Amino acid sequence: MKIQIINGPNLNLLGTREPDIYGNSSFDAFLPELRAQYPDVEIEYYQSNIEGELIDRMQEVGFTADGIVLNAGAYTHTSIALHDCILSLACPVVEVHISNVHKREEFRRKSMIASACIGIIAGFGLHSYSLAIAGLLARNEPSADNG
Ligand code: DQA
């Protein structure tokens, strides 16, 4: 099983960026912990601040990976291009947020990508990524109802 994690703009600053909202850990520090949690899953990681680069990466992996865990950052709320990209891929995509976007500013309540994703996880800090992987794995279980 191969899962691609993709982080969008400003998520390279995790650990120093608004730590009261996003926590004190960088993603690089968290990644080994996540990989240890899922030893049988090949977890790849990519981050970019550039919308087109996120799309390029999704197109690169979206026909071979078993799933994509996408935190599109602020592009979540604006990007029709990411929405269209998700729809064009063969693999399922989970929308992830570290913070509970529904508890914050009004503009964060709107997601341009949610309707193209198989599910959404938000508000569990970095555990949101782990829960998204658990969701993708559960879909592959024989008893799964993927409705
Ligand atoms: C975020 C929430 C977005 O609204 C924000 O623009 C981010 C991070 C989150 O993980 O909570 O950059 O996606």
Looking at the whole model, is its pTM more than 0.75?
yes
| pLDDT for the residue 140 | 81
Q: Give tens-digit pLDDT for 48-72.
A: 999 999 999 999 999 999 999 999 9
d(CA 63, CA 78): 25
Burial of 64 (0-12, 13-18, 19+ CB in 10 A): exposed
CB-side neighbour CA atoms (13 Å) of 100: 4
CA angle 89, 92, 94 (to 5 degrees): 120
Ligand 1 pocket test: which of 76, 77, 117 has the largest number of ligand atoms within 8 Å of its C-beta?
76
Whether the predicted pLDDT of 147 surpasses 70: no
Which residues is 70 bridged to in the sheet? 6, 95
Class of domain 2-140: alpha beta
Q: Give tens-digit pLDDT for 14-29.
A: 999 999 999 999 999 9
Residue 16 amino acid letter: T
Question: Span 128-135, mean pLDDT?
Answer: 98
Which residues is 6 bridged to in the sheet? 46, 70
d(CA 119, CA 95): 6
3-class DSSP state for residue 90?
coil
* 97 is annotated as an active-site residue: yes
Is there a binding annotation on residue 111?
no
Q: Give, as one character, the DSSP assignment of residue 106.
A: G
* 83 is annotated as an active-site residue: no
Q: Kind and range of the H or E element at 138?
A: helix 127-139
Q: How far is CA 90 from the centre of its chain?
A: 16
> Beta-strand (E) ranges in 15-141?
42-47, 67-71, 93-97, 119-122
| pLDDT for the residue 143 | 73
Return the domain boundaries, the chain: 2-140
Atom of ligand 1 nearest to the CA of 123: 11
